[in-house]
Every structure is written in C-alpha cells, then in structure tokens.
Amino acid sequence: MIVNSAGWPAFKEAFFNGKIFRDSFGEIASAFLVNVKIFCIAEAIILVTALGVAVIRSLQGPVFFPLRLLAIAYADFFRGIPTILLVYLLGFGIPALQLSGVPTSTFFWGTVALVLVYTAYVSEVYRAGIESVHPSQGAAARSLGLTHGQSLRYVIIPQAVRRVIPPLLNDFIGLQKDTALVGVLGVIEAFNQTQIDQAATFNFTPGVVAAVLFLLITIPLTRLTDWLVSRDRRRLLAAAGAPV
C-alpha cells in the first residue's frame, strides 16, 4: 500500500500539506478567475468563427473553391501547430513588433492563440455535423422555395449543431485546461500563481490546489457530455423502435 511505504510521510508533506493548501487556496482561486475569463471569451468567439469556417467548407460549386481552399488551409495549419508554440509566437512576437494600434497585452494574444487553434478543431466538429445531415433535407428545403443560405440557416445547421454538442463540450473541456498555457507569457493565472507559491514554500501542495479548481469545472462538463450522449442514444433508439 502507498500509505504504508517508507516515503509516504515525505510525499504527503510535499503534496498534501493542509496548512499550505489553506494558505494558498485564496490566491490561486483568485488567479483561477483569469482562466475562467479567458475560457469564456475564447469560447464565445470560437462558437461563431468555427461555424463560419465549417459553413465555408461546405459551400458547393467551383466559384467557392478559393474560399474552401482557404478554410482547409486554415484548419490544417492551426491544427498542426502545437498550441504552446503559437502562444509563444503571438504572445512575445506581436508585441515585439511595436506596431501602431496593435494591442501588446499578453492576455490578449494568449487568448487569440487559443481562439485560432480551437477554432480550427471545432470547425471540423461542425463540418462533421453538417455532413451528417442527409442531402434530402437540403433538397426538401430548396423545394419549398428556400435559398441555399436559408436552407443552411433554418434546416441543416440547427440539426448539425444538435448532433455535435457532445464533441463540442469535449473540445471546450480541453480549452479550459489549455488556458493554463497563457501563463508562459507571464499572465498571473492559476498555474502561474501555483509556481509562485511553490517557489515561496518549497512545497508542491499549491499544485494540488490548482488541480482541484480545474476539476471543479471539468468534471461537471464531462458528466454533462455523458448525459447528452446518453440522451441522444435513447432518442435514436426510440426513433428506431428498439428497446432503450
């Protein structure tokens, strides 16, 4: 057993020190609000921009080929770059250019980096949802007199979004955790505050505090995802006439 091992007392003191946990909780919780702020801002932007990229990729006809090519290049490029590398490049590179009228805030550019990367990932989730809608749905909408844009807006996209809510939530769970990457730019968020407290106490317990705070958000989101998957499964089985 772990608790009976020879090194357990030292391990417990280093990672589960109750006094340090209580003393550091307030500072780390305040810094964690920065993670939550980044997450909320990025998520609101990603939901809209990723849908736009997915719609562009779904446009048919040779006239839209240049736009489709740009959307494909965007998704491939930003899914291929490690997120932390893009955070470094934008967070340190853009302010160093000293361009007039361009923000120099590391918070801003760290958030932009997350938006660029996760928009690429989420656009593929949206695209899978759009392609999962049977072509007859669009044809039926067109037969009723709707334009291609109207059929996308009122028929195809609503169905596609409902189908991809669980994988979207999975992506946003990842986004919430990746907000810690902004700390490499010097933004005082939960992970950065953890490192400060660890350096001050020579103890790893502040890391446990940060882990607990992240779990308080990610676990409810995970359970919500599981519930949505189960609900969709029951709905599909009911529609097929199979026992639930």
Closest alpha carbon to 84 in 177, 205, 154: 177
CB proximity list for 97: less than 8 A, separation 6 or greater? none
pLDDT given for residue 24 in this prediction: 94
Closest alpha carbon to 171 in 232, 120, 112: 120
Query: What distance in Å separates the CA atoms of residue 44 and residue 36, rounded to the nearest whole number?
Result: 12
> How far does Cα 126 stand from its chain's mean position?
14
pLDDT given for residue 243 in this prediction: 56
For residue 72, the enclosing domain spans 2-240
Q: Express each pLDDT in 104-128 by its tens digit.
A: 999 999 999 999 999 999 999 999 9
Q: Express each pLDDT in 171-195 by its tens digit.
A: 989 999 999 999 999 999 999 999 9
Q: Express each pLDDT in 80-103 by its tens digit.
A: 999 999 999 999 999 999 888 889
Closest alpha carbon to 232 in 167, 142, 153: 167
Mean local confidence (pLDDT), 204-231: 88
- Position 222 pLDDT exceeds 90: no
Q: What is the mean pLDDT of the chain?
A: 89
Mean local confidence (pLDDT), 22-36: 95
pTM of the model: 0.88
Provide the residue count of the chain: 244
What is the domain-level CATH number for residue 21?
1.10.3720.10
- Two tokens, residue 170: 């999975």
Provide the domain count of the chain: 1
Query: What distance in Å separates the CA atoms of residue 111 and residue 145, rounded to the nearest whole number?
Result: 42
- Position 223 pLDDT exceeds 60: yes
